[in-house]
Amino acid sequence: MQRMIYTGSALPDNLAIVESFNMIQFTGTVEISERGIVVGMFERKRADYQDIINHFAAQAPSDANAIINVQVSSATQAFGDVTYLYLTYIGTPVTLAEC
């Protein structure tokens, strides 16, 4: 199911919250060092950032058609010549309906 993801609390005027669920969270990792970029180009097509968003959205209950108040936190960590970016997404799944 395709879910809408809103970073703010204000929804479009034609939508209303019908049901709200418990907050969800997902942390994903992307290698951002030069070595990671080269390996990614030659080994496979990388869509790491979109994969993280997709995994985050998959955490929502099946009845939810949107996630609101989404916040993103980031951190980096280096291990020798490899650097990783950690992205954490947090939000509230909801069921929206047109009003």
Separation CA 89–CA 99 (nearest Å): 28
80: left (phi over 0), alpha (psi -120 to 50) or beta: left
Of 48 and 64, more confident: 64
Domains detected in the chain: 4-98 (3.30.110.70)
Q: pTM value?
A: 0.82
The share of the chain scoring above pLDDT 70, in percent, equals 87
**pLDDT, tens digit (0-9, with 9 covering 90-100), for 9-57:** 789 899 999 999 999 999 999 888 776 455 554 444 457 888 999 999 9
Query: What pLDDT band is residue 1 in, cutting at 50, 70 and 90?
Result: low
Separation CA 13–CA 53 (nearest Å): 25
Query: What pLDDT band is residue 81 in, cutting at 50, 70 and 90?
Result: confident
- Provide the pLDDT for residue 73: 97
CA dist list (Å): 63 to 1, 6, 14, 57: 10, 17, 19, 12
Phi, psi dihedrals of residue 12, rounded to the nearest 5° = -55, 150
Element (H, E) at 97: strand 82-98
- Provide the pLDDT for residue 35: 62
- Provide the pLDDT for residue 3: 86
